[in-house]
Amino acid sequence: MMMILTSIPPKDEFFKTIIYLLDTYGSFFIRGVLITLLLSVVGTVGGFILSLFLTIIRNQDIDYKRDSWFEIAIKKLGIGFTKVYITVFRGTPMIVQAMIFYYGIAPLRLSFWNPLVAGLVVVTLNTTAYIAEVIRSGINGIDKGQMEAARSLGFSKRQSMFKVIFPQAIKNSLPAIGNEFIVNLKDTAVLSVIGVFDLFKATQSATSSNYRPVEGFFIAAVIYLILTFITSKLVDHLEHKKVKVVNVNA
């Protein structure tokens, strides 16, 4: 029988151990990074899109004179839902949401349901709540005069919202949304609890037979830092650009 005899550097050889881990488990780290990026990108982009719906629902105006009782009921229900949604998803840890979603839905035996899908759903729903709040403060930050000006130019309330207020609010919110992406890069590590093979879990696997967690997670830390550093530079760049555009418009 063929024996696979591998040797790892002694415990006190920190950098040799790091090279050993990178050399032996490079494929683990690469795959972990890809999954972490996938979770963060899908979570942030999906969260952004869903949060737009939330924002639209939440900013409905109830006109007690003109709306029928049915319209009023639907609108109230919608507004109530967004409030509950945001409170629940911002008020509970993502690790708790992951446990409830993954193990709660698993007994339905859906063929597509696996840890990664559950992770993508949870990170998206979670980010939706945060970005919805970001956009809300973006809307609050728009001067009242913008709405008044739009209305005086003959825009309807809805038109003013969609054509004047939202675009500015979203543009102002972009840096904060970029920050959500950075947060997601780091916080998706908790999804390893349901078996998502992100960078954290991949690192755990890489040290599963050699018990060298410090060296392994040192590598993970450097990778996380590189990812967040690049992203924060991109966000800075975006912010800078935004200021320019506003200046031109002004």
Residues within the interface to other proteins (CB under 8 A): 1-11, 24-28, 31, 103-104, 106-109, 114-116, 192-195, 197, 204-214, 216
Q: What angle do CA 220, 94, 22 make, to 5 degrees?
A: 10
| Residue closer to other proteins (CB basis): 29 or 48 | 29
Q: How far is the CB of 84 from other proteins (least distance, A)?
A: 13
**In the complex with other proteins, which residue's Cβ is closer, 107 or 145?**
107
Ramachandran bin of 229, using left for φ above 0, alpha for ψ from -120 to 50, beta for the remaining angles: alpha
**Shortest approach of other proteins to residue 11 CB, angstroms?**
6
Residue 60 contacts residue 158 (beta carbons within 8 Å): no
Task: Decide whether 35 or 161 has the Cβ nearer to other proteins.
Answer: 35
Q: What is the dihedral of CA 144, 164, 55, 83, to 10 degrees?
A: 10
Measured CA to CA, the distance from residue 189 to residue 141 in angstroms comes to 33
**Closest separation between CB of residue 158 and other proteins, Å?**
30
Q: Choose between 205 and 231: whose C-beta lies nearer to other proteins.
A: 205
**Angle between the N-to-C axes of helices 213-249 and 199-206, in degrees from 0 to 180, rounded to the nearest 10:** 160
The greatest distance separating any two alpha carbons of the chain, rounded to the nearest whole angstrom, comes to 86
Give the N- to C-terminal CA distance of the chain in Å, as an integer.
77
Q: How far is the CB of 7 from other proteins (least distance, A)?
A: 5
Minimum separation from the CB atom of position 159 to other proteins (A): 35
56 close to 103: Cβ distance less than 8 angstroms: no
Q: Considering the complex, state which of residue 94 and residue 134 has its C-beta at the smaller distance from other proteins.
A: 94
